[in-house]
Structure 1
Amino acid sequence: MLTKSLAAAAIRAASRVPARRWCVLFLFCVTLGIASAPSDALAQSYRFGSVSVTGNERVSTGTVLSYAGIGRGQTVSAAELNDAYQRILASGLFESVDLEPRGGTLVINVVEFPTVNRVSFEGNRRLKDEDLVALVQSRPRYVFSPSKAEADAQLIAEAYSQTGRITARVTPRIIRLSQNRVDLVFEIFEGGNTEIERVSFVGNKVYSDSRLRRVVDSKQAGLLRQLIRKDTYNDERLQADQRILTDFYFSRGYVDFRITSVNAELARERDGYFVTFNVQEGQQFKFGQITTTSEIPEADAAEFQAALRIRPGVVYSPVLVENSIARMERLAIKKGINFLRVEPRITRDERNLALDVDFVLTRGPRIFVERIDIEGNTTTLDRVIRRQFKVVEGDPFNPREIRESAERIRALGYFGSADVNAREGSRPDQVVVDVNVDETTTGSLSLGGTYSTASGFGLAASFRENNFLGRGQQLNFSISGADSDKNYGLSFAEPAFLGRDVKFDFVLGYRETDNNFAAYDTETINAGFGLTFPIAERSTLNVNYGIKQTDITPSGALGGVISAEATEGAVLASWLGYEYSFDSRLTGLNPNAGVLLSFGQDFAGVGGSAKYILTKAEAIAQTKILNEEVTLRATFQGGAINPIDNFSTRVTDRFLIRNSSMRGFEPDGLGPREIDVATNGASVNDALGGKYFATAQFEAEFPLGLPAEYGLSGGLFYDVGTVWGLDGASNVAAGNVIVNDGPDLRHVVGISIFWDTPVGPLRFNWSHALRKETFDKEQKFDLTISTDF
């Protein structure tokens, strides 16, 4: 009332004042009214004798009242009523809320959110429905929440962003149904891949951009952008690339290498990224003085020093240091020295760019392995995982050995992820090793085609299981059929035979040839098994037994030699054999070089009619030069078959040089031949093979200056070799003659194009024979599947 009286007085006064003062008086009245209004609102209070709730169907009245917090007969202000409104609305249960005082009754009107009847996705092709269902939080039969639906849409968009589709848009829609239900539909516009347009490096001087691009997993978009998915931008892959790049430099002695920053700039059109690695290479260090110091009386430093393989002058690599530590610890276990730890103490020699390493033998804490717990392996048996550990319950705990075991578990390829951690056990001197794995698919079924210049086109199908019945065994069945060569094979391998570090192999095969290069066909059935076990760090020995039956069927005009051999019918050979292998590619001192050596013999005559000694040897050496831009490779092969007890070898026993041993000639295109002199080989021209062969291949592979993502590189090669030697010429038909039975060398040069395609690495060879014999059959072009050394 006081306020109203003041306002009336002001109006009366205004009628008696000049007009120029009217504005001043008007502003005074307005200000007075505004100042007094909040006081009235704040002062207003309510007391309700009852509170009722309307519109609720699923949510009980008591639940609504509990959110409101207003009791019967309680005096509340307008501000407290607003707080009650906010609490009910914030519960997320209601689409709208209205508080209406009606005398002594407070009426709370609510409209419930509908129930989600179904969650569906439209427009998705790259990500499957089941993947998206596992991603979103909205679920059928739960209350629909707009905020949750928006959050789900953001999660889906982020999932597409991880696949390189940063332009993907996701819009949640609802379709209203009866009984206050809705269908929640996520409308998805996937957009296109956001590719990496360029990967570049700043600060690199030793290694070129093209070399470093071959190191990282992220690739630039190229001609095969529809097939190569590594050119899609991915944050996780970029993080992994930084680790890969660092390991690459560290393993080559650049211990000061740093990645100062990685910039990923999005193009203005938002259709591509420009990725730049800013690096500091530093200087390359080599090993300096290598010493061993023992702080344990029973550990002889000189004996442990002798176990080392690294020497001064070798390029420094952390991997070599780790291998040396592992070698020393294995020696300690062999000598019965428990808890020995090897601590490498490194001293920098800046002047000579060398790192002096002192391996200090110390006594580690007395901690034992209490137990090994394995979880997550729904298919793989526990013993398959346990045999990757060199320690068992009760053994001294060695953190390095646990890390190596974790790497061996991951290398099996049976698990999508494998985490190995150690935690304190029941006592401070006990640890429990926890192994958590996530199973993944280990089997594959492939269907495809094959092509070679020797066999033509063909179909191929294979089934492979790398973890058969969860036992870690490999099972492989394959069928391939080409115009002139049909193969059927079954193989089985147990990598831990009788629970030991021994591999057991079994093979069964059938081959049928319709030879396009000779006037006879062959049929071969073979079976065999073997055991392979390590005899040194880099060496293995395989002992095996095999049995083979071969049959020769004429398919045209044959000379006297093979005709006589074909009349013998099926010949059975049964043998015992061995093969020794030495491989320094993974454990050698030089990461850019390696050697693979093998030597084996088969002694036939353990049953069957064939009696001979078959000897084969192979040596492959590879190195990289010019900052690893150029790869040099040399391959030497040789073999001999020596008959026993007057056994006469057949063409199926003797050596017929193929393209893998020497390029530039057709299969069976060089070596001893029987020809019809009268027709100059027109009617009879049989490749007889030889008892001996020797080849040497030298090649260089180098970049062509094209973007690395094209997968194209070039090569040059030089091959030299021969095959010679026969049991005799007594079966030569009249008028025919055997030619080229001596060890005359053939020389071939050529160029190659390597193409790393998504369907496999292809190799195109163009060759020219510098020296050949008259009746050799040259092949100037060849297409093969490239193999890595």
Structure 2
Amino acid sequence: MGKQVNNLANILSLTTLKHCLLAILTWCSFSIQAQETPYSEGKKYTLGSVTVSGNTSFSEQTIVTYSGLSKGKEMTIPGEDISNAIKKLWNSKLFNDIEIYITKIDGDVAHLEIRLSDLPQLNELKINGIKKGKKEGIINDTGLKKGTKVTENLITNTKNFLSKKYRKEGFYNTKILINTIDVKDSIETARVNMVVNIDKGEKVKVKDIEFSGNEILSDKKLRKAMKNTKKINRFRILKRSKFVDSAYQEDLSKIIDKYKENGYRDARILSDSLIVNDDNKTVSLHIAVNEGEQYTFGDITFIGNNAYSDRELSRVLRIKKGDTYNGVLLQERIADNSKPDAFDITNLYQNSGYLFSTINPVEVSADDNVIDMEIRITEGKPAYFNKVSVVGNDKTNDHVIYRMLRTRPGQLYSKENVVRSVRELGQLGFFDAQEISPNFNNPNPDEGTIDMEYSVKETGSSQIELQGGYGGGGFIGTLGLSFNNFSIKDIFKKEAYKPIPMGDGQKLALRLQASRFYQTYSFSFSEPWLGGKKPVQFSTSLSHTKQFLYNPITRNADKSKRFNITGISVGLAKRLTVPDDYFTLSQAVSFQHYDLQNYNTGLFTFGNGDSNNLSYTVGLSRNNTRIDPIYPTGGSNFSATAKFSIPYSLFNNVNYKALKEERDALELIVGDSTRPIDERTEASDRVGEIDQERYKWLEFYKINFKADWYAEIIKDLVLKPSAEFGFLGAYNNDRGVIPFERFFVGGDGLGSYSLDGRESIALRGYPNQSLSDQDGGTIYNKFSLELRYPITLKASAKIYALGFLEGGASYNSFRDYNPFSIKRSAGLGVRIFMPAFGLLGIDFGHGFDALPGETVKNGWETHFIIGQQF
């Protein structure tokens, strides 16, 4: 009887051979046990009972129904029905160890048993060897989420995926180890915990890059064309030699581009290979090229152009017959995708409304290595803006945004206006400049219309300054509030305080600073669109300062001896249209009143009296920096301002020459210790009276110039050269240069407090205001060069590192002025801008020169920039 059973099993196995192979591939077994039977080949049976056994959470009825083995069904055993049942159960990806047994045969009725187990579900996942922030990406990429069915195939695919992923990033020695641990608890569902151990090892470096087949271009030139893949060179700083596969593949294309730039349009990479060296830390790259032959441009014909003549298009293309063929340059002159405002033919058409135009260069002949080109142009209909909308502005009111847009419904499409609109929104400072996106919706080439949608993301635009410190003999506290998207019309609306009325683009600032010895209060307000129709900015400010004299006996402030300054200013700034609309003309009138009461110091020679400063300031500026005001990548920003007082000496009938001569004579008496005290005191009092007359109304003129340039050297690496100059002069030399409005050079430039209108000029590597005389300079110049590179420009935090070289100095007169006699410094720094804290920064500067009056170079200084934003 046992022999007959074995024969039946053999027959079933032979008949279902192809299904057994499938079962082997999927780690399932298929076996059938039966009672003694005389049959040696398949026979038809009626299916009786079907039972289910094994470790499963699914009901018996569900499994039987899904398998298709329904009671009463006629089927051949062995045959396709049982094989199909195994396939269906396996394809569900819910089970493993699927086996079907014949448990009993009653005549023509066969009873079956399905024995299987549920695939285990993933309970917990632990990933070791990578940073916490990278784990979520691994989970999303591999699908290793809680509840996922865990199979050997899943584990193998995960290992392969991770190994391949890190190899592409240059980690050729990555090791992946995955362990699963059964979860033993009261829950019947099979579950496992998975531990993924990732050992990336170190990135391999490129030991050598070798070329073969190149005769025209040397190995050195080809290596230079590979911008991101460099061989080991200990003297290289900006580019590392670590191998990254994606960068390498991009560099292979750069090699071909280099040949195309030199006329070898048929150049190609025949093969490339990577060899891991014996040290397992370096690789060698071998690249075989076929250079082909050099070509030149022949006739260049424009076809399909109606809007522009051949001459106009040739002026933009700037390629002539006989020029060495340059496929890269040709593509850039037709459509330079690296610059949205490039001077190319595509932008020429798109800035004139031809949004739907297409421009294709076609080679029509290449005889004798001379390439005749046809520039085939399909102009299409001019496009007009149909709808223009903005989404994403939760705080800023629509009218503030729409007034900045250069695109209007019904207006002819212009790419230049779209790019400019994005820049203007970024420059507002209310939105994350990196997230502003112009979206083209519902393009209709037949009707020539397009819908324009600008997507923005609000960011913190108001600031609070909270600072405390010790200086000047006591604690100094500062509270400053700056609301940069204020709405003054909603100031009396309770529901508008979230936490303050916002959305109209106005700026309001309040600042209070106090210590035992001084108090300052200031208020300023500006409306960028006075009247709401034109970009005319109105601004006003009020300030009041109290300074108390130090009492050396009580070591406290003597409030009976004080120096007060009260100031007010009103200004207008208008955007110009010529030479272009990046220019702004600003004008302001300001008045400061200085009141001294028993305040005898070296600042003035009189301790009681007052002085007045009525001045007019006019400025011309131009700012076309690109989009992000935190991290500009291109453009320039310059400003020139002139500040004038009324030339009182022309009409007040005061003989300042005589006063100067008298004052000089009195100074000799005051400084002559051999004279009687009464005579010296009387002379000193007279000097004070003369100075009271000289400074009753301040008379001066002041010129300032500043220019910044931004140039993107390679992607995101930005060079920023800067230059500054300032001069304070007098209309009447006998009256002299006033002791106010002077320049103090050195340090971080964040002079938070001053009585006399001084300007603090940053020059890192030296202490604050250390490079000017005690009374300040009347001339200064400064030159700096910064190299910036972003670490991240995300909305949550914009972080960039910088290196700098700079030099500057201040001078007391043009007789002393020498623009090349400057104090030099260099250093490194970092800037962090977060909506919650504003701009934070630290610089480490090394001063190469000695401070005035010293002989040893200053050395290292640390400078901080601190603010807070909400």
Matches of 2:274 and 2:510, distance apart in 1: 46
Matches of 1:90 and 1:273, distance apart in 2: 43
Letter in structure 2 aligned against 1:74: K
How many equivalent residue pairs?
661
Offset at residue 188 of structure 1 (A) = 3.4
Q: Is the 8 A contact 1:664 1:768 kept in 2?
A: no
Matches of 1:473 and 1:155, distance apart in 2: 53
Letter in structure 2 aligned against 1:78: P
Letter in structure 2 aligned against 1:764: H
Offset at residue 662 of structure 1 (A) = 8.8
- Equivalent residues in 2 for 1:379-778, closer than 5 Å: 390-397=406-413, 414=432, 422=440, 425=443, 428-430=446-448, 432=450, 502=535, 531=573, 533=575, 535-537=578-580, 539-543=582-586, 545=588, 559=602, 562-564=603-605, 576-581=617-622, 598-603=639-644, 612-618=700-706, 635=723, 637-642=725-730, 650-658=738-746, 686-690=774-778, 693=779, 695=781, 722-724=811-813, 742-743=815-816, 745=818, 748=821, 764-767=846-849
2:114 to 102, 105, 108: 108
Offset at residue 598 of structure 1 (A) = 3.6
Cα 1:328–1:369 shift into 2, 3 Å = same
Q: Is the 8 A contact 1:123 1:187 kept in 2?
A: no
* Deviation digits for residues 696-724 of structure 1 (CA, Å, limit 9, x no counterpart): 869999xxxxxxxxx9999898x787432
For normalisation by structure 1, the TM-score amounts to 0.56
1:322 to 335, 339, 342: 342
In structure 1, the residue matched to 2:86 is: 85
Letter in structure 2 aligned against 1:428: D
Matches of 1:473 and 1:245, distance apart in 2: 52
Matches of 1:239 and 1:205, distance apart in 2: 20
Offset at residue 599 of structure 1 (A) = 1.8
* Structure 1 counterpart SS, 2:100: strand
2:149 to 141, 144, 151: 144
Letter in structure 1 aligned against 2:642: Q
* Deviation digits for residues 595-653 of structure 1 (CA, Å, limit 9, x no counterpart): 87542123568xx976654322346799999xxxxx99795724234479999865341
* Structure 2 counterpart SS, 1:748: coil
Q: Is the 8 A contact 1:205 1:281 kept in 2?
A: no
In structure 1, the residue matched to 2:381 is: 365
Letter in structure 2 aligned against 1:602: K
Matches of 2:193 and 2:363, distance apart in 1: 64
- Equivalent residues in 2 for 1:323-342, closer than 5 Å: 323=343
In structure 1, the residue matched to 2:835 is: none
* Deviation digits for residues 270-312 of structure 1 (CA, Å, limit 9, x no counterpart): 5566789999999999999999999658x7999x799989999
In structure 1, the residue matched to 2:42 is: 43
Matches of 1:256 and 1:557, distance apart in 2: 82
* Structure 2 counterpart SS, 1:177: coil
- Equivalent residues in 2 for 1:205-284, closer than 5 Å: 216=228, 235=245
Q: Is the 8 A contact 2:564 2:595 kept in 1?
A: yes
For normalisation by structure 2, the TM-score amounts to 0.52
In structure 2, the residue matched to 1:187 is: 195
* Deviation digits for residues 308-366 of structure 1 (CA, Å, limit 9, x no counterpart): 899999x9874699336588669868xxxx88979799999x9xxxx999999995424
In structure 2, the residue matched to 1:68 is: 67
Offset at residue 78 of structure 1 (A) = 1.6
Offset at residue 665 of structure 1 (A) = 9.2
Matches of 1:283 and 1:505, distance apart in 2: 65
* Structure 1 counterpart SS, 2:131: coil
The gaps in structure 1 that reach 5 residues or longer are: 5-38, 450-457, 587-591, 626-630, 674-685, 702-710, 726-741, 770-774
Letter in structure 2 aligned against 1:780: K
Cα 1:158–1:654 shift into 2, 3 Å = same
Offset at residue 95 of structure 1 (A) = 3.5
* Deviation digits for residues 486-514 of structure 1 (CA, Å, limit 9, x no counterpart): 99999999999998895969899999999
* Deviation digits for residues 355-401 of structure 1 (CA, Å, limit 9, x no counterpart): 99999999542444444677788888888887886434444455776
Letter in structure 2 aligned against 1:108: I
In structure 1, the residue matched to 2:857 is: 780
Matches of 1:746 and 1:164, distance apart in 2: 50
Q: Is the 8 A contact 1:175 1:184 kept in 2?
A: yes
Q: Is the 8 A contact 1:445 1:461 kept in 2?
A: no
Offset at residue 106 of structure 1 (A) = 1.6
Cα 1:328–1:782 shift into 2, 3 Å = farther
Give the RMSD, CA atoms, in angstroms: 7.6
* Structure 1 counterpart SS, 2:143: coil
* Structure 1 counterpart SS, 2:343: helix
The alignment-based identity, stated in percent, is 14
* Deviation digits for residues 660-685 of structure 1 (CA, Å, limit 9, x no counterpart): 699999876777x6xxxxxxxxxxxx
Matches of 1:448 and 1:276, distance apart in 2: 60
Cα 1:633–1:399 shift into 2, 3 Å = closer
Matches of 1:199 and 1:782, distance apart in 2: 39
Q: Is the 8 A contact 1:194 1:232 kept in 2?
A: no
Matches of 1:287 and 1:558, distance apart in 2: 79
* Structure 2 counterpart SS, 1:65: helix
* Deviation digits for residues 397-422 of structure 1 (CA, Å, limit 9, x no counterpart): 55776688789989998377777665
Letter in structure 1 aligned against 2:407: V
Cα 1:159–1:657 shift into 2, 3 Å = same
In structure 2, the residue matched to 1:98 is: 99
* Deviation digits for residues 717-763 of structure 1 (CA, Å, limit 9, x no counterpart): 8x7874328xxxxxxxxxxxxxxxx4464853787655578987755
The gaps in structure 2 that reach 5 residues or longer are: 5-37, 105-109, 212-216, 468-475, 487-501, 553-561, 628-632, 647-695, 714-718, 748-760, 788-800, 832-840, 864-870
Matches of 1:624 and 1:121, distance apart in 2: 39
* Structure 1 counterpart SS, 2:133: coil
Q: Is the 8 A contact 2:52 2:60 kept in 1?
A: yes
Offset at residue 91 of structure 1 (A) = 1.8
Matches of 1:163 and 1:511, distance apart in 2: 60
* Deviation digits for residues 15-54 of structure 1 (CA, Å, limit 9, x no counterpart): xxxxxxxxxxxxxxxxxxxxxxxx9654355432232334
Letter in structure 2 aligned against 1:640: L
Offset at residue 122 of structure 1 (A) = 5.5
Q: Is the 8 A contact 1:114 1:180 kept in 2?
A: no
Letter in structure 1 aligned against 2:857: K
Matches of 1:552 and 1:363, distance apart in 2: 72
Matches of 1:435 and 1:187, distance apart in 2: 47
Q: Is the 8 A contact 2:722 2:783 kept in 1?
A: yes
Letter in structure 2 aligned against 1:63: T
